[in-house]
């Protein structure tokens, strides 16, 4: 039997988490869900050449020394050894890729997926409770709303995938001591496109800092914090999937998120739950038609 104690959970290491993230990405590439497709040779030439020129310009303009160059080389090797390329790219680059990819949308705002998404989370009814431990700490959260099209048409049967960190800031399948599907689930909207998700309010957390990414953060004097957030993927036949994160007002890191993923439209408005303890949030997902 695996150890699902909180003591086991807090022993999570960056290299283990990074290795899991890398392995999951390779699996998704192999199955096609994240496969990039064919990229035009001229486009590769254009982009790769610009990156290489930009790096060489930095070396010349900032007079990079051999000591700094060798430190960079050693660090790049360590990123690979720690399996932290998914973390590095998702934290420092994905937000710009997402901005370009979703500039055309009229519906809900998207933001980065991050490195901790897992496909095929357990299926739940439209008003189901997310899988969690019996003693799972955290403030109860009821997340309600409607999946609809830009023109207001309800989307019955829409799929709402949710995953988030626990009260200690860890994700299941990326830290020891957590059940496989802890705080991960897939809801199916009812005939009116509505959903009522029962979960817990997540905590803010630092990205792993004992590996290569943490080494960079320390060397640059940055912080490693992400504000508390809920991850969602919402889809319906004939409509564009939306990947987003939703945040809570008052979090001190909404304005300086290490991943630069917070947008004003993604800040929630939680209210006290009139039916009991905890909070209630009402938030609609508005999907664009497939082009």
**pLDDT tens readout for residues 46-87:** 999 999 999 999 999 999 999 999 999 999 999 999 989 999
Q: Which of 238, 212, 244, 254 is nearest to 86 (CA)?
A: 212
Q: Which of 160, 97, 152 is nearest to 127 (CA)?
A: 160
Residue labelled with tokens 């799929």: 159
102-115: average pLDDT: 96
| Contact between 173 and 118 (Cβ < 8 Å) | yes
Residues 189, 246: Cα–Cα separation, whole Å: 19
211-217: average pLDDT: 95
Q: 37-73: buried (b, 16+ CB within 10 Å) or exposed (e) per residue?
A: eeeeeeeeeeeeeeeeeeeeeeeeeeeeeeeeeeeee
How does pLDDT run across 2-44, given as a tens digit for each residue? Answer: 455 556 666 666 667 767 777 777 787 777 666 566 778 999 9
Q: Specify the pLDDT at position 27.
A: 80
Q: Specify the pLDDT at position 1.
A: 43
Answer whether residue 162 shows pLDDT above 50: yes
Q: Taken in order 137, 142, 148, 154, is the CA torsion positive or negative?
A: positive
Residues 68, 43: Cα–Cα separation, whole Å: 31
Topology of domain 99-287, CATH: Protocatechuate 3,4-Dioxygenase, subunit A (2.60.130)
Residues 199, 139: Cα–Cα separation, whole Å: 9
- H helices within the chain, ranges in order? 6-9, 14-31, 41-61, 66-81, 85-92, 94-101, 212-220
Answer whether residue 235 shows pLDDT above 80: yes
Give the global pTM.
0.89
Q: Which of 119, 162, 160, 159 is nearest to 25 (CA)?
A: 119
209-227: average pLDDT: 95
Q: Specify the pLDDT at position 2.
A: 46
Cα of 136 vs its chain's centroid, Å: 21
Percent of the chain with pLDDT over 90: 83
Residues whose CB falls within 8 Å of the CB of residue 144, separated by 6 or more in sequence, listed in order? 194, 195, 196, 197, 280, 281, 282, 283
Q: Where are the domains of the chain?
A: 15-83, 99-287
């Amino acid at each position: 039997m695996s150890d699902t104690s909180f003591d086991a959970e807090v022993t999570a290491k960056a290299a283990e988490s990074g290795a899991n993230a890398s392995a999951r990405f390779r699996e998704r590439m192999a199955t096609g869900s994240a496969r990039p497709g064919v990229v035009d040779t001229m486009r590769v030439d254009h982009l790769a050449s610009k990156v290489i020129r930009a790096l060489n310009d930095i070396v010349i303009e900032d007079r990079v020394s051999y000591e700094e160059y060798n430190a960079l080389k050693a660090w790049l090797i360590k990123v690979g050894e720690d399996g932290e390329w998914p973390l590095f790219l998702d934290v420092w680059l994905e937000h710009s890729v997402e901005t370009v990819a979703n500039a055309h949308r009229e519906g809900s705002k998207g933001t980065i997926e991050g490195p901790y998404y897992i496909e095929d989370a357990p299926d739940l009814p439209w008003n189901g409770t997310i899988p969690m431990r019996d003693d799972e700490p955290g403030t109860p959260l009821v997340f309600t709303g409607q999946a609809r099209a830009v023109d207001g048409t309800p989307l019955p049967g829409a799929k709402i995938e949710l995953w988030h960190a626990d009260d200690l800031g860890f994700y299941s399948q990326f830290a020891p001591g957590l059940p496989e599907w802890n705080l991960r689930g897939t809801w199916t909207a009812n005939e009116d496109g509505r959903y009522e998700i029962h979960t817990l309010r997540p905590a803010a957390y630092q990205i792993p800092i004992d590996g290569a990414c943490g080494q960079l953060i320390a060397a640059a004097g940055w912080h490693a914090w992400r504000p508390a957030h809920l991850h969602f993927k919402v889809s319906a036949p004939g409509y564009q999937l939306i990947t987003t994160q939703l945040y809570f007002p008052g979090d001190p890191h909404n304005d300086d998120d290490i991943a630069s993923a917070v947008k004003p439209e993604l800040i929630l408005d939680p209210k006290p739950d009139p039916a009991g303890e905890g909070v209630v949030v009402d938030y609609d997902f508005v999907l664009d038609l497939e082009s």
